């Protein structure tokens, strides 16, 4: 069994479990959409201002609820499953990659659904080229956030308050991703190049990938 | 006789508390040994140490010729089969999907999944989700994992507890096939009479130390 076969099998099973449990699209997404509605009401904004804050609210909710997707319970292995994986020869780095793949697919789908809801509720005026830029920034954001979430999940594996603790690790470290993703759309509005922000997210994603793969085995063994 | 497992003065501490002390045992090819002990005596910790899933804090040991403190245990772990207290299944997948998943992760022939399900008597119930399957069915799937993987060292931690006679027969058959391959088995149970009936040697684990009794 190769590294990539193991990674793809773990991703396949994660997505299969998510399809049956619906934690992302049937639980997290509705909460995020309701939160979209709450923001303008809580801030008492006029209709004309609502459109201007739409993209910022989208990214704020994207990182908050995206963390829940990245740290979803259905992607947390029980100690018994981790033992079984060790005994059948699963490479911890392959598990990190597989889990990142499945999480990134789900986070991307979540962001797309949330963006559509934001456009419907807030009616922002989006500059030309927004859609391809959004696809690119959302993809990189989803990959980076999931890498961070998976890494935090590995660090906190076996701890009872795993989700709360992992969120505390992810939130501050997700700052470069939030800046990169939100500034991509802002750069388009200002008529500037999006390249620096895209490069920031790519560099962040690559650094987290290297860190995740390198730390996977030591983290696994440290837990024993 | 080939040495399958050996521990020499092994101690394990969990959270700063010593759980096992000075454990010394050898297991040779074809042997079936039993270890009994009261709740909390360290039976599961000993099984996990033999499975290389728990690092010892003292002493030395080897499993199938590999030092249990080695940094790379991937290949030796593939030769170890473990049935623990809680079945290691993905609750949202069916019993068949669980078995197929393990076969894929281990790089085993998926074509053997159907025949193995038949052997463990789950062919008709294989589409049942693991979270609604009975404990006995989950145990049968774990036996199926091991029939697929064919380990050389079989570790059974209260594996027969709560099972009906046909399921315990399957565990007996699993032990027999492991022995026939030249492997060895360690069974752990709080039931001394069960171990006396099934094992060539039995030991008692008390306050973290092993005593040979039979």
Instruction: Give DSSP secondary structure letters for B77-96.
Output: HTTEEEE-SS----TTSBHH
Q: Residue A180 and residue A175: Cα distance in Å, rounded?
A: 8
Exposure string of B23-59, with b = 16+ CB inside 10 Å and e = fewer, is bebebeebbbbbbbbeeebbbbbbbbbbbbbbebeeb
Q: How confident is the model at residue A77 (pLDDT cuts 50, 70, 90)?
A: confident
Q: Hey, is the C-beta of B119 within 8 angstroms of any chain A C-beta?
A: no
pLDDT of A120 over the 80 cut: yes
Element (H, E) at A217: helix A195-222
Nearest to B92 among A20, A86, A90 (CB): A20
Q: Residue A176 and residue A182: Cα distance in Å, rounded?
A: 10
pLDDT of A194 over the 90 cut: yes
Q: What is the predicted pLDDT for the residue at A53?
A: 85
**Searching chain A, which residue's CA lies closest to the CA of residue B50?**
A87
Q: Hey, is the C-beta of B104 within 8 angstroms of any chain A C-beta?
A: yes
* Higher pLDDT, residue A203 or A170: A203
- Taking any CB pair shorter than 8 Å as contact, residues of chain A touching chain B are 1, 5-6, 9-10, 13, 16-17, 20-21, 74, 78, 80-81, 83-91, 221, 224
Q: Hey, is the C-beta of B169 within 8 angstroms of any chain A C-beta?
A: no
Helices within B51-203 (DSSP H only): 74-77, 95-106, 113-119, 135-149, 165-180, 192-198
Q: Hey, is the C-beta of B122 within 8 angstroms of any chain A C-beta?
A: no
Q: Report whether A147 contacts A212 (CB < 8 A).
A: yes
- How many Cα atoms sit within 13 Å of A96 on the Cβ side? 26
Nearest to B51 among A10, A21, A87 (CB): A87
Instruction: Work out the minimum CA distance from A8 to partner chain B, whole angstroms.
Output: 10
Q: How many CB pairs under 8 A join A and B?
A: 71
Candidates A88, A90, A99: best to mutate against B (most CBs of B within 10 A) is A88
Q: What number is the average pLDDT over the span A145-161?
A: 84
pLDDT of A163 over the 80 cut: no
Strand, helix or coil at B33?
A: strand
When mean pLDDT is compared across A166-180, B45-59, B78-92, B175-189, the lowest value belongs to: A166-180
pLDDT of A139 over the 80 cut: yes
Q: Report whether A74 contacts A14 (CB < 8 A).
A: yes
Residue B194: CB partners within 8 Å, gap ≥ 6? B34, B160
Q: What number is the average pLDDT over the span A130-155?
A: 92
Asked whether the CA dihedral B122, B156, A157, B61 is positive or negative, the reply is: negative
Q: Please provide residue B186's backbone torsions phi and psi, each rounded to the nearest 5 degrees.
A: -120, 125
pLDDT of A113 over the 70 cut: yes
| Record: contact B88-A81, CB cut-off 8 A | yes
Q: What number is the average pLDDT over the span A186-197?
A: 90
| Record: contact B78-A87, CB cut-off 8 A | yes
Q: What number is the average pLDDT over the span B133-151?
A: 93
Q: What is the predicted pLDDT for the residue at A71?
A: 81
Selection from A81, A102, A72, A91 nearest residue A8 by Cα: A102
Q: What number is the average pLDDT over the span A171-180?
A: 90
Residue B183: CB partners within 8 Å, gap ≥ 6? B4, B29, B30, B151, B152, B153, B154
| Record: contact B88-A88, CB cut-off 8 A | no
Asked whether the CA dihedral A106, A107, A112, A117 is positive or negative, the reply is: positive
CB-CB neighbors (< 8 A) of A6 in chain B: 105
Strand, helix or coil at B19?
A: strand
pTM: 0.90
Q: Residue A194 and residue A202: Cα distance in Å, rounded?
A: 12
**Searching chain B, which residue's CA lies closest to the CA of residue A2?**
B107
Percent of chain B with pLDDT over 90: 74
Q: What is the pLDDT of residues B161-175, one digit of tens each?
A: 778 888 889 999 999
Nearest to B92 among A21, A78, A81 (CB): A21
Q: What is the predicted pLDDT for the residue at B1?
A: 63
Q: How confident is the model at residue A103 (pLDDT cuts 50, 70, 90)?
A: very high
Residue B114 CB neighbour total at 10 angstroms: 14
Q: Residue B171 and residue A19: Cα distance in Å, rounded?
A: 34
Q: What is the pLDDT of residues B10-24, one digit of tens each?
A: 999 988 899 999 999
The radius of gyration computed from the CA coordinates of chain B, to the nearest angstrom, equals: 17
pLDDT of B143 over the 80 cut: yes
What are the strands of the beta sheet with B153-157, ordered from one edge? B80-83, B153-157, B184-189, B32-37, B201-206, B209-212
Q: What is the predicted pLDDT for the residue at B97?
A: 96
Domain parsing of chain A, residue ranges? 3-222
Q: What is the predicted pLDDT for the residue at B155?
A: 96
pLDDT of B213 over the 70 cut: no
Q: Hey, is the C-beta of B93 within 8 angstroms of any chain A C-beta?
A: yes
**Searching chain A, which residue's CA lies closest to the CA of residue B154?**
A87
Q: What is the predicted pLDDT for the residue at B214?
A: 62
What rounded mean pLDDT belongs to chain B? 91
What rounded mean pLDDT belongs to chain A? 89
Distances (CA, A) of B4 to B1, B65, B180, B199: 9, 7, 14, 16
pLDDT of A159 over the 80 cut: no
Q: What is the predicted pLDDT for the residue at A48?
A: 74
């Amino acid at each position: 069994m190769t590294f990539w076969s193991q990674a793809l099998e773990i991703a396949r099973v994660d997505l299969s479990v998510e399809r049956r449990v619906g934690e992302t699209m049937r639980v997290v997404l509705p909460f995020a959409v309701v939160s979209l509605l709450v923001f303008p009401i809580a801030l008492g904004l006029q209709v004309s201002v609502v459109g201007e804050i739409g993209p910022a609210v989208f990214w704020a909710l994207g990182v908050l609820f995206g963390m829940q997707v990245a740290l979803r319970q259905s992607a947390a292995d029980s100690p018994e499953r981790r033992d079984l994986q060790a005994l059948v020869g699963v490479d911890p780095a392959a598990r990190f990659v597989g889990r990142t793949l499945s999480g990134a697919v789900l986070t991307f789908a979540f962001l797309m659904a949330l963006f559509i809801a934001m456009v419907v509720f807030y009616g922002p005026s989006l500059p030309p080229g927004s859609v391809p830029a959004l696809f690119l920034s959302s993809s990189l954001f989803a990959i980076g956030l999931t890498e961070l979430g998976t890494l935090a999940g590995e660090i906190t594996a076996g701890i009872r308050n795993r989700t709360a603790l992992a969120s505390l690790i992810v939130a501050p470290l997700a700052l470069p991703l939030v800046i990169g993703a939100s500034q991509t759309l802002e750069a388009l509005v200002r008529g500037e190049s999006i390249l620096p922000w895209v490069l920031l997210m790519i560099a962040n994603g690559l650094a987290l990938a290297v860190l995740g793969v390198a730390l996977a085995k030591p983290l696994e063994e440290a837990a024993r | 006789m080939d040495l399958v497992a050996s521990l020499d003065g092994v101690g394990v501490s969990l959270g700063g508390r010593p759980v096992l002390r000075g454990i010394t045992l050898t297991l040779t090819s074809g042997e079936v040994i039993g270890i009994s002990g009261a709740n909390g005596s360290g039976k599961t910790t000993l099984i996990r140490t033999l499975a290389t899933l728990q690092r010892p804090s003292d002493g030395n040991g080897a499993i199938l010729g590999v030092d249990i403190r080695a940094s790379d245990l991937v290949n030796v772990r593939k030769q170890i089969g473990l049935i623990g207290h809680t079945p290691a299944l993905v609750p949202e997948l069916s019993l068949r999907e669980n078995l197929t998943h393990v076969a894929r992760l281990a790089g085993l022939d998926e074509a053997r999944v159907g025949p193995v399900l038949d052997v463990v008597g789950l062919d008709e119930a294989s589409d049942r989700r693991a979270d609604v399957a009975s404990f006995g069915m989950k145990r049968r799937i774990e036996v199926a994992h091991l029939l697929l993987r064919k380990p050389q060292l079989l570790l059974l931690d209260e594996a027969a507890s709560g099972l009906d006679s046909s399921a315990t027969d399957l565990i007996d058959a699993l032990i027999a096939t492991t022995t026939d391959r030249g492997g060895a088995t360690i069974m752990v149970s709080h039931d001394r009479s069960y171990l006396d009936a099934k094992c060539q040697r039995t030991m008692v684990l008390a306050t973290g130390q092993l005593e040979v009794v039979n």
